[in-house]
Structure 1
Amino acid sequence: MFELFKRVKTVVSSELHALIDKAEDPIHMIDQYMRDMNKEIVEAEKATAKIMGEEKLLGRKVDDTKKLIETRQTQAVEALKSNREDLAKRALEDKNNLTKELQQLEDLHTNALQQVVELKEKLKVMKNEFREMELKRNSLKARAEAARVKTSINRSLSNSNTASAKKGFERMEEKVLREEAEAETSEDLQIMNKSLDQELKELAGKSEVDLELERLKEQLQEEEKKSS
């Protein structure tokens, strides 16, 4: 009954750590082993309950047989008192048969009790081992998940696409910097152009004033000549 459980426990105890390095999905395999172990525990519980039921039934039969033996003894005495020797003899014969049957029932009951004790002890051990394996399963599942994440990250870092994306990013960054530089240069040129225009306008403005000034001078000179 417990052979499969022993085999499963052996695999879980000695080979479960190696599953991480194999091609199988370790988490899937661990869960399958735990399901197998749990199935064995359920079957063991059913077998134990069945033997316990038989033990109780045998116990009742032992008690009933003992009472019936006492009854036959009493009936044999009463038959003799009533001068029914033949009936007393039949009661004693049945008593003897019941005594032999009682011996067999007691042997069966004793054997059943031993089986119940053994099954309960094995069931206790199985459940303890299952809890131990369950803790190992949780630990190994966490390790397996961590290993997968680490592998995924390492693959991403070593992937050529990632390197290409990085180069593309750097290229776009350089392009943005170039565009910013061009914008700054354009702005500087615009400021320079504005300054030139302003200077030219100022120069043109100064020329008009000079011309006006010359005209005023000439006008004054003419007025002086007339007055003289």
Structure 2
Amino acid sequence: MGILQRFSDIMRSNINALLDKAEDPAKLVDQMLLDLRKDLAEVKKETAGVMADATRAKRDLDACDQEIARYDKAARAALQAGNEGDARALLAKKVALQESRESLAKVYDMSEANAKKMREMHDKLVSDINSLETRRSTIKAKVAAAKAQQHMNDITSGGDRARSSMEAFDRMEDKADKMLDQAQAASELNGQNDPQSDLADKYLSGANSPSVDDELAQLKASMGM
């Protein structure tokens, strides 16, 4: 009855511990259900065989009891008929059958006990499978929620990186503006200290404005001098 021990081990396995260790609990549950259904098919087969053994043992025991009752009845009839020798022979057969019955009864008791264990095993396995079927949807829903949350976390992290990049670009742009302002200021300062530029301004400004001699001539003319 090694199968009883093996499936007893399956029943005692800590499903929650397995789920805790699994990287993807939803996939583990699917695999466990697949394995348990295969186990259930084997348990059904074994249970049917053990139950058949118990039925056969019970049938053999009942047949033996019927034979014992038959020979007992025949011995009584022979004794009533005054044939003590026949009665003795019939009783000897009855005693032999009673000895056989002890063995048949032991076989039946063992077969019936095994059948009971297998039926309990079968019913427990069916219950476990039904329980897992119910819990599977809950587990998968939790896994889906966890993945969705992780996806949102990834998106949020991406947004943070984008903001950091924009801030870095802003700082670079500010720095570029500052460099441009400094360059323009330096250019203006350089232009003010350029002697050629000052010389050009001197002659250009003089060409466009009246000279002192012109102003003096106009003043004398107005005074009649």
Same fold (TM over 0.5): yes
Instruction: Please state if 1:65 is matched with 2:64.
Output: yes
Q: Distance in 1 between matches of 2:96 and 2:155?
A: 85
For residues 136-178 of structure 1, give each alpha carbon's deviation from its aligned partner in whole angstroms, at most 9, with x where no partner exists. 3221111222222333344355459x95xxx9xxxxxxxxxxx
Q: Where does the alignment leave 5 or more consecutive residues of structure 2 unmatched? A: 167-225
Partner amino acid, structure 2, of 1:111:
M
Q: Is the 8 A contact 1:8 1:36 kept in 2?
A: no
Instruction: State the identity %.
Output: 22
Q: Where does the alignment leave 5 or more consecutive residues of structure 1 unmatched? A: 168-228
When residues 54 and 138 of structure 1 are mapped into structure 2, their CA distance, relative to the original with a 3 A threshold, is same
Instruction: Please state if 1:96 is matched with 2:99.
Output: no
Partner amino acid, structure 1, of 2:29:
I
Q: Distance in 1 between matches of 2:16 and 2:73?
A: 63
Helix, strand or coil: the match of 2:57?
helix
When residues 139 and 69 of structure 1 are mapped into structure 2, their CA distance, relative to the original with a 3 A threshold, is same
Q: Is the 8 A contact 1:51 1:112 kept in 2?
A: yes
- The residue number in structure 2 matching 1:121 is 120
Q: TM-score, normalised by structure 2?
A: 0.56
Helix, strand or coil: the match of 2:56?
helix
- The residue number in structure 1 matching 2:16 is 13
When residues 9 and 113 of structure 1 are mapped into structure 2, their CA distance, relative to the original with a 3 A threshold, is closer
- The residue number in structure 2 matching 1:110 is 109
Runs of 4 or more above 4 Å deviation: 77-80, 156-160
Partner amino acid, structure 1, of 2:60:
K
Q: Which has the higher contact order (CA 8 A, sep 6+)?
A: 2
Q: Distance in 1 between matches of 2:44 and 2:145?
A: 36
When residues 74 and 9 of structure 1 are mapped into structure 2, their CA distance, relative to the original with a 3 A threshold, is closer
- The residue number in structure 1 matching 2:134 is 135
- The residue number in structure 1 matching 2:52 is 53
Name the stretch that deviates more: 110-119 or 28-37: 110-119
Helix, strand or coil: the match of 2:13?
helix
Q: TM-score, normalised by structure 1?
A: 0.56
Partner amino acid, structure 1, of 2:20:
H
Q: Aligned pairs, how many?
A: 159
Partner amino acid, structure 1, of 2:107:
L
